[in-house]
Chain A
Amino acid sequence: MGSRYWTELWRCRELLVFLTWRDIVVRYKQTTFGLAWVWVRPLMTMLVFTVVFGNFAKMPSDGLPYSVFVLIAVLPWQFFSNSFSGVANSMNDNISIISKIYFPRLILPISVVIVCFVDTLIAAVILVVLMLWFGCSPNWHIVFTPLFLLLMFVFSLGSGLLLVNLSVRYHDVRYIIPFFLQFAMYISPVGFSISIVPANWRLLYDMNPLVGLIEGFRWALGGSAMSLDITAVAVTCVLSVVFIFLGIYSFRRTEATFVDLI
């Protein structure tokens, strides 16, 4: 049963491509600014954090221009936030299709994450522009970026999948997710550096898997001034693996009942 499912999933790869393409195309058709929205959101978030934390609160940015320092974190954060809620709601959002046609349902959450991934790659253009503008040059750590992208992908998909079953059963999960994400953003080092966290709290702080992800990107792209928080990255890696396995397991177990429950 297990292997048959994965062969079937592989056979449906074209459907995956089309669903991903649909989500991207539709968004750019529906909105006047289209593509520009992918840049506007991280730019605004970056501006607010830079002005409030960088200029007013004068927080440290470990030697980088504050805006670059923040933007490196905003991009993976927004990837996580969008794909987490997208994956969690992926069944409810596609009820018209899943109640009529069979295909491995796992295609839908994967498609959501790919769409977010494409968005992030497009949004990364502003990061490149900003880094060129400020003359920041990354060092050899940059070769680790794909690894952190993979980590980001796996972690977001896994954690989102854990929630699918709940969101299918309880429709108010949709409304709880934004609260949760807002909370998560404030406890994650998106707008500030982890160096402001007191040393005796540091270990506890590292337990937040988003710390390892964000710090990983800062280390890979931020140049030689950045040090790597090994504990945090290890926590993220372990949790990503746990989440993706648990997520797929819970998804597979309950997949067949989704149609009856929504």
Chain B
Amino acid sequence: MIIINTEAVGKCYSVPDSHREKHDTFLGAVAIGARHAWRQLFAKEPADQHDNFWALRDVSFSIKEGDRVGLIGRNGSGKSTLLKIISRVTEPTKGRITLRGRVRSLLEVGTGFHPELTGRENIYLNGAILGMSYSDVNRKFDEIVDFAEIGHFLDMPVKRYSSGMYVRLAFAVATQLESEILILDEVLAVGDVQFQKKCIRTIEKMAEQGRTILFVSHNMDAVQQLCHRILWLESGRLVADSEDTVEVSGRYLSSTENQENAAPGNDVNTEKFLSIRQVYVGNEVGLPYMGAIPMGTELYLYIDAYIYDQQSDLNVGYALRTADGLVLYLSCAKDRDQEDWPNIEAGKCVLRTQIPSHFLNEGLFHVEVMVGLQLEMHRYDHDNCPVATFTIQGGFGSSPYWTSRRDGVLAPVFPWKRVD
């Protein structure tokens, strides 16, 4: 059953132009109104209009019951506007949205918390604001208090709470929401690491219960873990709606890098030397890996290129990025002694390199091809540049003491010896 359906939804905001008079005072409006009337009557130029800004344009999608959808996009891409429309805080300027079932949104945890009220009072107030009934809150009260770990601070005004306690309490109330559609916006970016993990587990649990979830986050790892479908907004337009979460998050990551690193001087045109036809991660004989790869697997990265113009100093490499966009390292074909260099000649050229097993920790990784002449390497910028994204999951060290994910980007297994 379709529970959210949007048809060509658009949202327009009028932006007060800084060159023009201020509108938000009554006298200002009177003055402007008078001037407008004057212009209408006497002036030749047409009455000026507001500058319109379309935060969303022509967005259409539908979400079925039980879907877990990740909404991604850079800041200002219209995510928040879309969430506001779905949670009915604001209405679309154009198009239609149909909702079935109760939509509960957590655009911000702790909405309506009042600093003067005690934790106990705020639980009831926040519950009511989020749409829970008094008896619901009563029934879940102990669970909320347990989850928030606020103990004997319960009857203290929340203005005396530490920010951690405040956020824990707010999230604790939110986790008890029972609704068909749950909208979560960046709520994970709260509290300490331990509490964040607890939050993610809770959301995972909700997801397992078959709830429909619309999840917005910058953390592609979390999106990958929770969602099986991704909507990608770019300048107010829906540029991707796909169940291939790995492929979309890969493209998203590379596009954000393009934006971030678009520094002047970086635009060496590498396209005239070669074109990259395929980049993928596979086994020793070139068979691509599908799905998550256990840590203990030997990984081979293949770069399939076509060289147009033979340059003796042409170098090819890649940068490995984490889901957060952090560059782990940069590796190039000509890093070693000259006699070890692969021969990069004109024509078809497939390069292979190895990513050791038991090296990367669990997570989503993204390969970005680099091309350079001599010393400088540049990202291979091309509209149709293929990307490789892969996920490492499971296959921890063979020790019985290592059974769950450790912190860190890397999870190497090093030899240990006693030397005394």
Contact = CB atoms under 8 A, between A and B. Distances in A.
Interface of A: 14-15, 17-19, 22, 25-26, 29-30, 96-103, 166, 169-173, 176, 256-257, 259-260
B114 A22 contact: yes
B247 interface: no
A100 B25 CA distance: 25
Given A22-B117, A25-B117, A100-B107, A256 B91 contact: yes
5 contacts: A14-B134, A22-B125, A96-B112, A101-B111, A170-B24
B375 interface: no
B292 interface: no
Contact of B124 (A18, A173, A260): A18
Nearest to B92: A256
B17 interface: no
B206 interface: no
A98 B89 contact: yes
Among B87, B111, B134, find the residue whose CB has the most chain A CB atoms closer than 10 A.
Answer: B111
Interface in B18-32: 24-29
Given A14-B134, A102-B89, A259-B84, A25 B121 contact: yes
Interface string B276-304: 00000000000000000000000000000
Contacts of A176: 26
A14 B89 contact: no
A171 B26 CA distance: 7
Given A171-B24, A173-B26, A259-B90, A101 B121 contact: no
A101 B125 contact: no
A18 B125 contact: yes
A189 to B, nearest CB: 30
Contact of B129 (A101, A257, A259): A101
A101 B105 contact: yes
Interface string B24-43: 11111100000000000000
Given A25-B116, A100-B108, A256-B90, 10 more contacts: A15-B128, A15-B131, A25-B117, A25-B121, A26-B114, A98-B89, A101-B87, A101-B112, A170-B25, A170-B28
B116 A26 contact: yes
A112 B125 CA distance: 16
B178 to A, nearest CB: 15
B88 interface: yes
A18 B128 contact: yes
A37 to B, nearest CB: 15
A14 B137 CA distance: 12
Interface string B92-109: 000000000001010110
A15 B134 CA distance: 9
A74 B123 CA distance: 38
B254 to A, nearest CB: 33
Which of A25, A101, A169, A176 is the most central at the interface, judged by chain B CB atoms within 10 Å of its CB?
A101
Nearest to A255: B91
Nearest to A94: B112
B159 to A, nearest CB: 10
A104 to B, nearest CB: 10
A229 to B, nearest CB: 35
A191 B366 CA distance: 78
B238 to A, nearest CB: 21
Given A18-B128, A169-B24, A171-B24, A101 B134 contact: no
A30 B128 contact: no
Nearest to B27: A172
A100 to B, nearest CB: 4
B343 interface: no
B133 interface: yes
Contacts of B26: 166, 170, 172-173, 176
B13 interface: yes
Given A29-B116, A100-B108, A101-B111, A260 B25 contact: no
Contacts of A100: 89, 105, 107-108, 111
A257 B12 CA distance: 11
B134 A99 contact: no
B111 A172 contact: no
* 4 nearest A-B pairs in the assembled complex, by CB-CB distance: A102-B88, A170-B26, A18-B128, A256-B91
Nearest to A261: B24
B130 interface: yes
B277 to A, nearest CB: 47
Contacts of B90: 256-257, 259-260
A172 B128 contact: no
